[in-house]
């Protein structure tokens, strides 16, 4: 039986994957914040501001955590 080849050791794929996950989680939380704002009868402009701010905050937080763990 032959062994499968080891994964690449440079970690570039891991870093890219973590950045993509951070952005996707930011999009998801921004969408959820916008939906909650609309459910609370906020004006569309305020809901958009809340969703955008949530996206930026969550994405930057996750990228900072990724940076600190390396």
pLDDT tens per residue, range 13-46 = 888 999 999 999 999 999 999 999 999 999 999 9
What's the burial of 34, exposed, middle or buried (CB within 10 Å: 0-12/13-18/19+)? buried
pLDDT number for residue 61: 94
Among residues 33, 30, 15, 19, the alpha carbon closest in space to that of 62 is found at 19
Whether the Cβ atoms of residue 26 and residue 63 lie closer than 8 Å to each other? no
pLDDT number for residue 50: 94
pLDDT number for residue 6: 73
pLDDT number for residue 1: 63
pLDDT number for residue 4: 82
> How many other CB atoms sit within 10 Å of the CB of residue 21?
12
* pTM confidence score: 0.79
């Amino acid at each position: 039986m032959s062994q499968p080849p080891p994964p690449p050791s440079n970690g570039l794929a891991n870093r890219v994957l973590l950045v993509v996950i951070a952005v996707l989680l930011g999009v998801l939380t921004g969408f959820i914040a916008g939906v909650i704002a609309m459910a609370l009868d906020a004006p569309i402009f305020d809901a958009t501001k809340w969703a955008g701010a949530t996206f930026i905050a969550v994405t930057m937080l996750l990228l900072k955590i990724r940076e600190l763990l390396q």
